[in-house]
Structure 1
Amino acid sequence: MAETVEALFEQGLQRYNAGEAPANLLPLFKEVCERSPKSSPAWTCLAWLYLLDSKPSQAMKAAQKAVKLNPQDPQARVNLAIAMLETAQTGVRQHVETASQIIMVSEELKEEVERNFEDGLSRKPEWKSLLRVKQWLTEG
């Protein structure tokens, strides 16, 4: 019997948290997104993996879907802002400002975004686009 989308998603998160390479997890998260196209968390994760794997164009497409599905998810907006910086797009500020407003009212979401910044830097040190977005959010 095929695994449920939820089980696949959880399995992917566990493998990611165990340190598995983003490139290895991309097929799993693509499948989750194909099987559950309205899952904002799945698209947010897929965008993050693409960013870690230095595929900003694909990351931007996934992050745009995540933001469209859940405009109030600050991590989706952070991912989109990073992808936009890495592909030299305009309009980054709007997403950073929206993410900033959301994390100001939710300590839980703020902590999640901060953990993801640290995780990203541990996996991809000197990640310039992530550092810029982090600076804008923490100084904003």
Structure 2
Amino acid sequence: MTQTVESLFDAAIERYKAGEAPADLIPVFKDICDRAPKSAAAWACLSWLYLLTDKPNSALKAAQKSVKLSPQDPQSRVNLAVAMLDAGKPGVRQHVEIAGQVMTVAEELRTEVLQNIEDGLSRKPGWASLERVKGWLT
């Protein structure tokens, strides 16, 4: 990523953390993904925003790109698993298992993923698919 795209990404993350609506951030992350199509982190963020706005099919596509670019990233795998559950797709278990394996050996990633899950549940209370994945990972 160029510095411009990195600074856009960092600014967009800060906007999310400040509580900006996920729907307002989707075009920002789509632009970042267009500018840096090999950024697994950007695709993971876009998939998360789609999940928060009840767009599981769009989330599924973005999460698949993120996992393809970074197969060992547990957040990408969690996003893909949740998107698959929300979209009614089979094959969730393998993604949860891989995420769990990585989280077992990388405590920092485990903490980050669990914090993101809690953030998702606070932004979208009663999110059954995310609750299921959380239960499998904890």
Give the TM interval when normalised to the shorter protein. over 0.9
Structure 2 CA distance for aligned equivalents of residues 87 and 119 of structure 1: 21
Taking the TM superposition and a 5 Å limit, the aligned residue runs for 1:54-133 are 54-133=54-133
Q: CA deviation at 1:73?
A: 0.3
Say yes or no: does 1:24 pair with 2:42.
no
Structure 2 CA distance for aligned equivalents of residues 50 and 86 of structure 1: 11
| Structure 2 length-normalised TM | 0.97
Count the aligned residue pairs: 136
Taking the TM superposition and a 5 Å limit, the aligned residue runs for 1:2-41 are 4-41=4-41
Structure 2 CA distance for aligned equivalents of residues 118 and 98 of structure 1: 20
For residue 4 of structure 1, give the secondary structure of its aligned residue in structure 2.
helix
Structure 1 CA distance for aligned equivalents of residues 136 and 103 of structure 2: 13
Structure 1 CA distance for aligned equivalents of residues 86 and 46 of structure 2: 16
Structure 2 CA distance for aligned equivalents of residues 88 and 55 of structure 1: 12
**Aligned residue for 2:45?**
45
Q: CA deviation at 1:96?
A: 0.3
Q: What is the RMSD of the two structures over their aligned residues, measured on CA atoms?
A: 0.8
Q: CA deviation at 1:106?
A: 0.4
Q: CA deviation at 1:14?
A: 0.5
Structure 1 CA distance for aligned equivalents of residues 14 and 96 of structure 2: 28
Structure 2 CA distance for aligned equivalents of residues 6 and 106 of structure 1: 25
Identity of aligned residues (%): 65
Q: CA deviation at 1:132?
A: 0.2
Q: CA deviation at 1:103?
A: 0.1
Structure 1 CA distance for aligned equivalents of residues 129 and 90 of structure 2: 14
Structure 1 stretches of 4+ moved >6 Å:
none
For residue 20 of structure 1, give the secondary structure of its aligned residue in structure 2.
coil
For residue 89 of structure 1, give the secondary structure of its aligned residue in structure 2.
coil
Structure 2 CA distance for aligned equivalents of residues 48 and 135 of structure 1: 18
Structure 2 CA distance for aligned equivalents of residues 73 and 103 of structure 1: 9
| Structure 1 length-normalised TM | 0.96
Which segments of 5 or more consecutive residues in structure 1 lack a partner in the other structure?
none
